């Protein structure tokens, strides 16, 4: 997988975690518990209404057609939602993340990139574009 694809995956995961955190009103310390395989029902108390709202928000954010009901029902982890979004989203990463966002969001995105690439990114304060992020990984 190319570095650009890894960054795209990290941005998608970051965006999904952000949607889930906002809709479930999670605290900052809960963000780190949102592993791809964490069950959103048992770990974070997501109910059917939360699920529906999260799916609708993901559809809007990623400019997706309506996610089929059977697909939505089996989306109980961030990984489940990510797998669907990865296959169907045509949105550009620049539309999902701005390096002008606050420092905490930038740290979270870089953390996702580090997890996916399995590389530590040093001096991440200077990263202010996807190009610089790509350079930092190579």
As a whole number, the mean pLDDT across the chain is 89
Instruction: Domain of residue 133: give its range.
Output: 3-137
pTM comes to 0.88
Q: How sure is the predictor about 82, in pLDDT bands with cuts at 50, 70 and 90?
A: very high
The angle subtended at Cα 115 by Cα 96 and Cα 25, nearest 5°, is 55
Domain count, the chain: 1
- What would the two tokens of residue 48 be? 């059917």
pLDDT score, position 104: 83
- Provide the CATH number for the domain around residue 73: 1.10.1200.10
DSSP label at residue 136: H
């Amino acid at each position: 997988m190319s570095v650009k694809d890894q960054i795209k995956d990290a941005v998608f995961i970051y965006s999904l975690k952000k949607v889930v955190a906002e809709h479930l009103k999670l605290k900052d310390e809960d963000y780190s518990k949102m592993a791809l395989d964490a069950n959103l029902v048992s770990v974070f108390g997501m109910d059917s209404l939360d699920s529906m709202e999260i799916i609708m928000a993901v559809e809007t954010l990623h400019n997706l057609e309506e996610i089929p009901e059977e697909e939505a029902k089996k989306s109980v982890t961030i990984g489940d939602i990510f797998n669907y979004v990865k296959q169907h989203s045509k949105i550009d990463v620049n539309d999902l993340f701005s390096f002008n966002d606050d420092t905490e969001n930038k740290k979270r995105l870089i953390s996702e990139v580090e997890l996916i690439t399995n590389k530590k990114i040093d001096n991440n304060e200077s990263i202010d574009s996807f190009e610089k992020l790509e350079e930092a990984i190579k």
